[in-house]
Amino acid sequence: MIPIAKPLVGDEEKRAVADVLSSGMLASGPKVKEFEERFAKYVGVKYAVATSSGTTALHLALLSLGIGKGDEVIVPSFSFIATANAILFCGAKPVFCDIDPKTYNIDTDKIEKLITNRTKAILPVHLYGQPADLKPIMEIAEKHNLYVIGDAAQAHGAEYDGKKIGSFGDVECFSFYPTKNMTTGEGGMITTNSKDIAEMARSLENHGREKTQWGYEHMRLGYNYRMTDMEAAIGIEQLKKLDRFNDARIKNARFYDEELEEVEGIVTPYVMENAKHVYHQYTIRVKRKKREKLIEIFKKKGIGYGIYYPKPLHFYPHLRKFAHEDLKNSENVADEVISIPVHPGLKEEDLVLIVDAIREGVR
Ligand SMILES: *Cc1c(COP(=O)(O)O)cnc(C)c1O
């Protein structure tokens, strides 16, 4: 069986966790601090705050900007469910924007007409590892005085105009779930250049704690969204390997690009000229009937695959009330995408087997 995703954890991670366990300092300690400092440096920002997951990173990012009841956040209608849920956690309203069917990211031409006097932020997702088209997003945000919160749960190490994702906008959110480009088991990270946002996120993730003249006091409603030192120790080792992991993903993607380009009925991933795509997923597009045939063959041959995502967000029961007319691209794309294994654990013979299976499937 060739899995669709496979975390690569080596002796370095095992040793690092064992060291933390021996140290007796298991919750947020020196490893969390070190991981935050290394991650901020890698991304090229002043501050990073480690969290318990990508979902809690998104929730904290929104809360740290003061987004709450009555506020609207513009978000693509094609993403993982957590992107929209985090907006609901705050009591705010997700305003769905359609996607560009070429990049699968938010269609920047459709953002402005969704802006109302309640809009507080734009929340682009860098889906599958390709950056959203940030230049027009930043321009729209500036013109209308909106925050930009990025969902980089799939885009560790991706770049836009030669700069790392995580260094654009007001705040960026990462996930370290085992299927992502790097992992800590469960875990997440917020990156920002704003001291205020970083301090607020740090307080909110730790029961609203703040240092006062009396010591630590609970100054606001907060949560426990902290990362543990075991997780951070894994993260430090994974971060050292991230560029290598991404290089392997890109190399696998290039192989697929070349082999699948001429195969009729298959649309390979489009990459923007000014973007470094890090292929959290290698996602192809085929007509629905052919997708069913492909799935049959993948199952027969023991090839893992994933449909990310089978539905646009506004098709889910608790999000249906936010649906509107102009979301057709996300609806069509959901019927036609299928992701094939691209992770760094693949061998050349796996890639060949997968390409042969696809050729057979679309014949
Ligand atoms: C994985 C993911 C999340 C959530 O991250 P968790 O760590 O699983 O909570 C959010 N958004 C996107 C786009 C994701 O892929």
Pairing of the two strands 119-122 and 93-97: unpaired
10-38 average pLDDT score: 97
- Per-residue pLDDT at 279 exceeds 90: yes
pTM exceeding 0.85: yes
What pLDDT does residue 362 have? 87
What confidence tens digit (pLDDT) does each residue in 315-356 have?
Answer: 999 999 999 999 999 999 999 999 999 999 999 999 999 999
- Per-residue pLDDT at 34 exceeds 90: yes
What pLDDT does residue 120 have? 98
Tell me the residue type at 278: V
pLDDT averaged over the chain? 97
What confidence tens digit (pLDDT) does each residue in 159-206 have?
Answer: 999 999 999 999 999 999 999 999 999 999 999 999 999 999 999 999
What confidence tens digit (pLDDT) does each residue in 138-172 have?
Answer: 999 999 999 999 999 999 999 999 999 999 999 99
Weakest-pLDDT range from 56-65, 207-216, 234-243? 207-216
How close is the Cα of 81 to the center of ligand 1, in Å? 8
What pLDDT does residue 9 have? 97
How close is the Cα of 59 to the center of ligand 1, in Å? 11
Ligand 1 atom closest to residue 57's alpha carbon, by position in its atom list: 9
Determine the residue of 126, 128, 154, 184 to mutate for testing ligand 1's pocket, defined as the one with the most ligand atoms within 8 A of the Cβ atom. 154
Sorted by where each starts, the structural domains of the chain and their CATH numbers stand as: 11-237 (3.40.640.10), 242-362 (3.90.1150.10)
What pLDDT does residue 214 have? 86
- Per-residue pLDDT at 53 exceeds 90: yes
Residue 309: name the closest of 111, 77, 86 by CA: 77
Q: How confident is the model at residue 215 (pLDDT cuts 50, 70, 90)?
A: confident
What confidence tens digit (pLDDT) does each residue in 221-256 have?
Answer: 999 999 999 999 999 999 999 999 999 999 999 999
How close is the Cα of 80 to the center of ligand 1, in Å? 6
**What's the Cα-to-Cα distance from 59 to each of 45, 53, 94, 171, rounded to whole Å?**
20, 10, 13, 12
Residues with CB under 6 A from ligand 1: 53-55, 79-80, 82-83, 125, 151, 153-154, 175, 177, 188
What pLDDT does residue 234 have? 98
Percent of the chain whose pLDDT exceeds 90? 97
Which pair of structure tokens corresponds to residue 57?
Answer: 């990173």
Residue 91: name the closest of 221, 268, 198 by CA: 221
Residue 63: name the closest of 226, 227, 220, 228 by CA: 220
What pLDDT does residue 155 have? 98
Ligand 1 atom closest to residue 179's alpha carbon, by position in its atom list: 1
